[in-house]
Amino acid sequence: MAMTMGELWTQVGSLMATLLFVWAIIQQYFPHQLRGHVQRYAHKLTGFLYPYITITFPEYTGERLSRSEAFTAIQNYLASRSSIRAKRMRAEAVKDSKSLILSMDDNEEVIDEFEGVQIWWTSSKTTSKNPSVSYYPSNDERRFYKLTFHRRHRDTILGSFINHIMEQGKAVEQRNRQRKLYMNNAKNDWGHKSNWRHVPFAHPANFKTLAMDPEKKQGIINDLIKFKNGKEYYEKVGKAWKRGYLLYGPPGTGKSTMIAAMANFMEYDVYDLELTSVKDNSELKKLLIEVSNKAMIVIEDIDCSLDLTGQRKKKKTEDGEETEEKKDPVKRAEKDEEKQSKVTLSGLLNFIDGIWSACGGERLIIFTTNHKEKLDEALIRRGRMDKHIEMPFCGFEAFKVLSRNYLDVEWHDSYHKIRKLLEEAEMSPADVAENLMPKYEGETTDDCFKRLVEALEDAKEEAEKKKKKKAEEEGEAAKMAETEEAEKKKTETANQHSSKETRE
């Protein structure tokens, strides 16, 4: 038996040596066209004997060798698979990624599985032997992934698995990317081709630290989750996959912090749109086109942006001051024309809810204002601003969140007094937080709460003065109205007497 096995291996070795010798002769002496025919038939023979199919995914494609999306998706997919454990790894710092990307090292092979089908992944590279000169410098090494599977699973791999790894890879890339905060360029004055410029978005706010009533906060979280998972639902009802939020309330109530918390929760980029820097409605549409999916478009203090509410801001100049612009009316008119934005309410409404609003998906549009009553009803109706969120003065539940955040305190003896004062005084969460924050090393918790109580008492007195003053003003206005009415009646009576005497 051992002799038979030895003879078998000897015959296999002889056959392999013969094939290699014949192939060397073909490569050396056969014409190029004939070699092509030989290779073609050799591949057919190999395909008949070898039941596996191999798909190659190169790292770079196209004339300018741009990085392949498929290669990147596979790299992210393999890095996220905990069941795949390569023995040799390589770490890369990828642009716009929060962390290093780990991938299989060259010539490493791992086994994967999908719906019971076994799959082999191989990471390889090739090196160009012929140096080339190009305007676009590039490394001579070319990396690629090879996917190998049995041919009987062809439909499963090509029909489902390829789409699966692309979706999973893009999802991993989305989670690992460095999110950005964008601002719109004014006339592209930075020399950028894009209408947006960005910086890394690193705001630490989250819903856990947001000072708000827990039930109201949970309602907002549930609404965001429903939107994020609602792609099929929005398609079903025939609506663009977007949602509008109006945040309104007094200054210091946490509107900007709410925006940051929402962005961190949804893992979206933030586009801070400054309407006064937008030239006209056409430029506004161009800005919208460049907004990515999974993004938040924010317009803060919408009531102060342009003449959208009938409250255009007036220029303030000192009395008696005569500037060069006053001397030259033409120059002043040209400068005013240059500064003035021609974005209209109609243009903004189309931006939010018109045909152009459907040129992307999974977007939130957020307006903030201190004066909701000043906004045009068409701007904040449902369908444009779908959810209105009031950001009120600090209540007791919001105060408890701030107390935990700033002092790590769950309960204090002064809580009962603070609760009563918060109901009577009007103090924003920002002011409460400032009073709770320790001001020097070694300041005790009792000192912080004492300072807050004093500030609340002052705010209570101020609120009572305002109420008293308002009541007095209303009383005076009522008296003036009564006086005017009495004078009016007196005038009418006198006119009637005068008319009667004239007739007599």
Q: What is the pLDDT of residues 191-205, one digit of tens each?
A: 556 789 999 998 999
> Taking 90 as the threshold, does the pLDDT of residue 217 lie above it?
yes
> Taking 50 as the threshold, does the pLDDT of residue 448 lie above it?
yes
Strands 108-114 and 117-127 come out as antiparallel
Q: Other C-beta atoms within 10 Å of 457: how many?
A: 14
Q: Quote the pLDDT of residue 140.
A: 60
CA distance 246 to 252: 16
Region 310-325: what's the mean pLDDT? Answer: 44
Q: Quote the pLDDT of residue 387.
A: 95
Instruction: Please name which of 241, 237, 238, 234 lies closest in space to residue 268, comparing C-alpha atoms.
Output: 241
Q: Indicate the DSSP class of residue 322.
A: -
Per-residue pLDDT reduced to its tens digit, 449-467: 999 999 999 999 988 888 8
Q: Quote the pLDDT of residue 466.
A: 83
Q: Quote the pLDDT of residue 366.
A: 96
Q: Torsion angle of alpha carbons 395, 397, 399, 401, nearest 10°?
A: -150
CA distance 458 to 449: 14
Q: Indicate the DSSP class of residue 157.
A: I
Instruction: Please name which of 431, 308, 315, 277 lies closest in space to residue 371, comparing C-alpha atoms.
Output: 308
> Taking 90 as the threshold, does the pLDDT of residue 33 lie above it?
no
Q: Measure CA of the first residue to CA of the last residue in the chain; give whole Å.
A: 150
- For residues 112 and 81, is the Cβ–Cβ distance under 8 A? yes
Residues spanned by CATH 3.40.50.300 within the chain?
Answer: 180-309+340-390
**Which H, E and C letters describe 274-297, residue by residue?**
CHHHCCCHHHHHHHHHCCCCCEEE
Per-residue pLDDT reduced to its tens digit, 230-264: 999 999 999 999 999 999 999 999 999 999 999 99
Region 56-84: what's the mean pLDDT? Answer: 80
Per-residue pLDDT reduced to its tens digit, 272-307: 999 888 888 889 988 988 998 899 999 999 988 766
* Percentage of residues in the chain having pLDDT higher than 90: 36
Those residues with Cβ within 8 angstroms of residue 407's Cβ, 6 or more apart along the chain or in another chain: 436, 438, 445, 448
Region 180-186: what's the mean pLDDT? Answer: 87
Q: Which amino acid is at 393?
A: F
Per-residue pLDDT reduced to its tens digit, 380-439: 998 899 999 999 999 999 999 999 999 999 999 999 999 999 999 889 999 999 999 999
CA distance 408 to 400: 10
Residue 320's pLDDT band, with cuts at 50, 70 and 90, is very low
Tokens of 202: 């690193």
> Taking 90 as the threshold, does the pLDDT of residue 265 lie above it?
yes
Q: Quote the pLDDT of residue 9.
A: 60
Region 72-100: what's the mean pLDDT? Answer: 74
Tokens of 150: 């049995």
- For residues 254 and 395, is the Cβ–Cβ distance under 8 A? no
> Whole-number mean pLDDT of the chain?
81
Q: Other C-beta atoms within 10 Å of 443: how many?
A: 12
Residue 30's pLDDT band, with cuts at 50, 70 and 90, is low
Q: What is the three-class DSSP state of 114?
A: strand
CA distance 239 to 131: 54
135 or 187: which leads in pLDDT: 187
Residue 312's pLDDT band, with cuts at 50, 70 and 90, is very low
> Taking 80 as the threshold, does the pLDDT of residue 112 lie above it?
yes
Q: Quote the pLDDT of residue 444.
A: 93
Cross-strand bridge partners of residue 150:
52
Residue 190 phi, psi dihedral angles, 5° rounding: -95, 0
Q: Quote the pLDDT of residue 2.
A: 47
Per-residue pLDDT reduced to its tens digit, 9-25: 666 567 667 766 666 76
CA distance 446 to 403: 12
23 or 132: which leads in pLDDT: 23
Q: Quote the pLDDT of residue 434.
A: 95
Q: Other C-beta atoms within 10 Å of 131: how many?
A: 6
Instruction: Please name which of 239, 475, 190 lies closest in space to residue 362, comparing C-alpha atoms.
Output: 239
- For residues 100 and 91, is the Cβ–Cβ distance under 8 A? yes
* Percentage of residues in the chain having pLDDT higher than 70: 75
Those residues with Cβ within 8 angstroms of residue 410's Cβ, 6 or more apart along the chain or in another chain: 400, 403, 404
Q: Quote the pLDDT of residue 195.
A: 86
Q: Quote the pLDDT of residue 34.
A: 64
Q: Quote the pLDDT of residue 212.
A: 93
Strands 387-390 and 242-248 come out as parallel
> Taking 60 as the threshold, does the pLDDT of residue 72 lie above it?
yes
Q: Indicate the DSSP class of residue 91.
A: E
Q: Quote the pLDDT of residue 363.
A: 94
Per-residue pLDDT reduced to its tens digit, 136-153: 444 567 888 999 998 889
CA distance 176 to 164: 18
Q: CATH number of the domain at 180-309+340-390, out of 3.40.50.150, 3.40.630.30, 3.30.230.10, 3.40.50.300?
A: 3.40.50.300
Q: Quote the pLDDT of residue 480.
A: 85
Write the DSSP string, 228-276: HT-HHHHHHHT--SEEEEEEE-STTSSHHHHHHHHHHHHT-EEEE--GG
Region 159-183: what's the mean pLDDT? Answer: 87
Cβ-defined contacts of 454-457 (< 8 Å, 24+): 455/427, 455/431, 456/418, 456/421, 456/422, 456/425, 456/427, 457/421, 457/425
Q: Quote the pLDDT of residue 87.
A: 75
Q: What is the pTM of this model?
A: 0.71
311 or 410: which leads in pLDDT: 410
Burial 214-243 (b: 16+ CB within 10 A, else e): eeebeebeeebeebbebeeebeeeeebbbb
CA distance 36 to 28: 13
Instruction: Please name which of 264, 280, 274, 249 lies closest in space to residue 430, comparing C-alpha atoms.
Output: 249
Q: Quote the pLDDT of residue 21.
A: 67
